[in-house]
């Protein structure tokens, strides 16, 4: 059943007109800007952020379909896991599509560098920037989990998805001047605490080692997903869950652990991170 939901979502994604209009536009736009280090990164993140909007559209349709689907052997666990898997696969596919463009048109021989959390500078090929793929992929997971949480609230979901997409888009103009959480320059940034959420600080630490992103992202996505299952169990919706409370509890504990350990890694990375020294 997970496979059925996953393939169903992939079919919806593959036929979504918004995605197939936006992707070529973004590719042309970013290629026009030159596909240097930051524009390349923007291409990956912007293109994947379109999937957040597709996710919300599909949730709306699922809400209309729910009586039909609930009369089958539907259960929330399979449905939510199937959808998260489908969007993870779609993110990978979008990254591959962008990579094809970058491979042919990107970089022009320029080499960027990322800063490893032990302080070493690691050169990165802009024609094959796997570090950016990792960061982009993992930064989408908490967004999908958040949108799953609000799947029955279309306008709120759309607001979140569009805000995230615009936030990513704005980076083209603002470059590293991160309007929400501030840059490394001192100043008053009331939302600085958002820095612990990988999806929101994707640009501030664009050239940092991607490894410290994996655990916090997985932790947040896990908290969102298991938190949603726990909420549905708590409020006793008529949706069958097909997952025992103990597994939900275990999932929440592992997610918290992952977030905690990831945060430690993240803080360690921040101690050595100074974008001025990267290039």
Partner 1 sequence: MSLIQLENISKHYGKYQALDQLNVQLEGGMIGLLGPNGAGKTTLIRVLTGFLQPSQGRASLAGCDLAQPEQLAQLRQQLGYVPQHPAFYPTWTCSEFVDYIAQLKGMHATAERKAAVERSIQYVGLSDHANKATRQLSGGMQRRLGIAQAIVNDPKVLIVDEPTAGLDPEERLRFRHLLAGLGNQRLVIFSTHIVEDIVQTCRQVIMLKKTILYAGGLNELLEQARAAQVSWDLTSPTPIYDQQLVIVSSSNDEQGYHYRIVGQPPAGSNAKPASNVGLEEAYLWMMQQASA
Chain residues in the site for partner 1 (CB under 8 A)? 1, 4, 8, 11-12, 15-16, 61, 64-65, 67-74, 236, 238, 240
Q: How far is the CB of 67 from partner 1 (least distance, A)?
A: 4
Report whether 75 contacts 102 (CB < 8 A). Answer: no
Residues 6+ apart with CB under 8 A from 63: 151, 152, 154
Q: How far is the CB of 252 from partner 1 (least distance, A)?
A: 22
* Closer residue to partner 1, CB minimum distance, 3 or 108: 3
Torsion of CA 168, 36, 181, 218, to 10 degrees: 70
Q: How far is the CB of 238 from partner 1 (least distance, A)?
A: 5
| Cα dist from 169 to 27, 56, 76, 113, 131, whole Å | 13, 18, 33, 23, 20
* Closer residue to partner 1, CB minimum distance, 62 or 99: 62
Q: How far is the CB of 218 from partner 1 (least distance, A)?
A: 29
* Closer residue to partner 1, CB minimum distance, 17 or 271: 17
Calculate helix-pair angle for 76-105, 130-149, nearest 10 degrees. 150
* Closer residue to partner 1, CB minimum distance, 45 or 80: 80
What's the distance, Cα to Cα, between the start and end of the chain in Å?
A: 48
Q: How far is the CB of 141 from partner 1 (least distance, A)?
A: 24
Q: How far is the CB of 130 from partner 1 (least distance, A)?
A: 33
Q: How far is the CB of 244 from partner 1 (least distance, A)?
A: 12
Query: What's the token pair of residue 158?
Result: 């759309």
Instruction: Return the sign of the alpha-carbon dihedral for residues 233, 142, 158, 82.
Output: negative
Query: What's the token pair of residue 209?
Result: 């080692």
* Closer residue to partner 1, CB minimum distance, 64 or 118: 64
* Closer residue to partner 1, CB minimum distance, 74 or 189: 74
179 by DSSP, 3-state: which?
A: coil
* Closer residue to partner 1, CB minimum distance, 34 or 240: 240
| Cα dist from 43 to 25, 193, 239, whole Å | 11, 26, 39
């Amino acid at each position: 059943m997970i496979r059925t939901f996953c393939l169903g979502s992939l079919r919806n994604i593959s036929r979504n007109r918004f995605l197939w209009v936006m992707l070529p536009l973004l590719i042309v736009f970013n290629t026009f800007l030159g596909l240097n280090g930051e524009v390349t990164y923007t291409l990956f993140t912007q293109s994947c952020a379109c999937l957040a909007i597709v996710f919300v559209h599909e949730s709306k349709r699922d809400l209309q379909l729910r009586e039909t689907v609930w009369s089958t052997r539907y259960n929330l666990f399979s449905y939510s896991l199937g959808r998260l898997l489908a969007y993870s696969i779609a993110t990978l596919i979008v990254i591959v599509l962008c990579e094809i463009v970058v491979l042919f048109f990107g970089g022009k021989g320029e080499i960027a560098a990322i800063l490893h959390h032990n302080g070493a500078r690691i050169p990165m090929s802009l024609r094959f920037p796997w570090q950016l793929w990792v960061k982009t992929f993992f930064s989408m997971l908490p967004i999908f989990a958040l949108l799953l949480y609000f799947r029955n609230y279309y306008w709120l979901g759309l607001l979140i998805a569009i805000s995230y997409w615009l936030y990513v888009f704005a980076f083209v103009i603002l470059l590293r001047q991160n309007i929400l959480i501030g840059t490394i320059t001192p100043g008053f940034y009331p939302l600085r605490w958002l820095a612990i959420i990988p999806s929101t600080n994707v640009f501030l630490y664009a050239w940092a080692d991607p490894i410290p992103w994996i655990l916090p992202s997985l932790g947040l996505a896990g908290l969102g997903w298991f938190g949603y299952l726990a909420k549905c169990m708590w409020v006793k919706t008529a949706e069958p869950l097909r997952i025992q409370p103990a597994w939900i509890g275990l999932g929440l504990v592992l997610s918290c652990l992952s977030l905690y350990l990831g945060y430690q890694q993240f803080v360690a990375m921040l101690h050595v991170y100074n974008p001025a020294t990267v290039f």
